[in-house]
Amino acid sequence: MSVRQSLLALLEQGPMYGYQLRAEFEQRTGATWPLNVGQVYTTLSRLERDGMVAVVDHGGVDDRTEADGEAGTQSESGGERGQVSYQITEAGRAEVAEWFSTPVPRTQPARDELAIKLAIAVTLPGVDIGRLIQQQRTATMSALQAHTRTKRAGRPGALVGEIQSATEDLAWSLVLDSLVFDAESEIRWLDHCEARLRRASHQTKTASSIQPEESR
């Protein structure tokens, strides 16, 4: 999953605590895919198990990861007892490089629930599919409007004029654009479904349920 690679990639900037990683992730993606702290630590411990990161605490490098030879002598002077930060290993860097150079697999269809719902609905008598499509379109349109409005308002906590902030703003707005384009494509698909169903119903003169005057 992308959380693993995302956290790993963020660690290329330097060692970080778990809560820091979470903040860095959310600065870029907004509150779109909130990460809970538990998820961050579970992911980090798996990464550690797989030799992708090494644990650094104020005493030095954790025994378990010293074999990687990468963790070095970094120490965390400010770390509280029991608080550790994480440092990427060579193997971790390789995984990040691999991630950025490989396309995200798109064999798994994304909008499962809606496509399945429609596929089931068209085959069943008694489902008002015109209404189903219209209601979904309205809901998706509302979400699209909300994303657009969020984007116009700007990233929460953005600091005008700061370079670091400017690149994070860019990252954040690209994520919003992705939500906007997804919603748009879903609406286009719904329009397409509606047009196809209309044509089919004109041909068979049966499925009157998709006539708009009866869809309310």
Partner 1 sequence: MTAVLHLDNVTRVHGEGATRVAALRGVSFTARPGELVAVMGPSGSGKSTLLNLAGGLDTPTSGSVLIEGVDLSGLDVAGRARVRRTSVGYVFQDYNLIPALTAAENVALPRELDGDSRKEAREKAMIALERVGIAEVADRFPDEMSGGQQQRVAIARSVVGERRLILADEPTGALDTETGEEVLRVLRDFCDAGAAGVLVTHEARHAGWADRVVFLRDGLVVDEAAASGAYGDPLEQGAL
Question: Strands (DSSP E) along the chain, which ranges?
Answer: 16-17, 53-57, 60-61, 85-88
Q: Is 159 in the site for partner 1 (CB under 8 A)?
A: no
Q: How far is CA 137 from the centre of its chain?
A: 22
Residue 205 as a binder of partner 1 (CB under 8 A): the answer is no
Q: Which stretch binds partner 1 (CB under 8 A): 1-9, 92-100, 112-120, 174-182?
A: 174-182
Selected binder of partner 1 within 42, 138, 167, 178 (CB under 8 A): 138
202 near partner 1, judged by CB under 8 A: no
Distance CA 145, CA 118 (A): 24
Among 6-14, 95-103, 117-125, 131-139, which window interacts with partner 1 (CB under 8 A)?
131-139
* Shortest Cβ 165–partner 1 spacing (Å): 16
Among 49, 191, 200, 202, binds partner 1 (CB under 8 A): 191
150 touching partner 1, by CB under 8 A: yes
* Segment 32 to 91, residues that bind partner 1, using CB under 8 A: 32, 34
Q: Does 216 bind partner 1 (CB under 8 A)?
A: yes
Rank residues 93 and 131 by Cβ distance to partner 1 and give the closer one. 131
Tokens of 182: 């997804």
> Considering the rule CB under 8 A, would residue 163 count as an interface residue with partner 1?
no
The residues facing 60 across adjacent strands are 57
Nearest-approach distance from CB 168 to partner 1, in angstroms:
15
Asked whether position 143 contacts partner 1 by CB under 8 A, the answer is yes
Closest to partner 1 by CB, 91 vs 141, is 141
Instruction: Give the bridge partners for 85, in sequence order.
Output: 17, 56
CB 44 within 8 A of CB 80: no
Going from the C-alpha of 95 to that of each of 3, 17, 39, 52, 101, the distances in angstroms are 13, 20, 20, 8, 10
Q: In angstroms, what CA-CA distances link 94 with 14, 52, 98, 120?
A: 15, 9, 6, 44
Shortest reach from residue 203's CB to partner 1, in Å: 18
Distances (CA, A) of 167 to 14, 69, 158: 18, 33, 10
Strand partners, 87: 54
User: Which residues would be at the binding site for partner 1 (CB under 8 A)?
Assistant: 30-32, 34, 134-135, 137-150, 152-153, 156, 176, 179-181, 183-184, 187-188, 191, 195, 212-213, 215-216
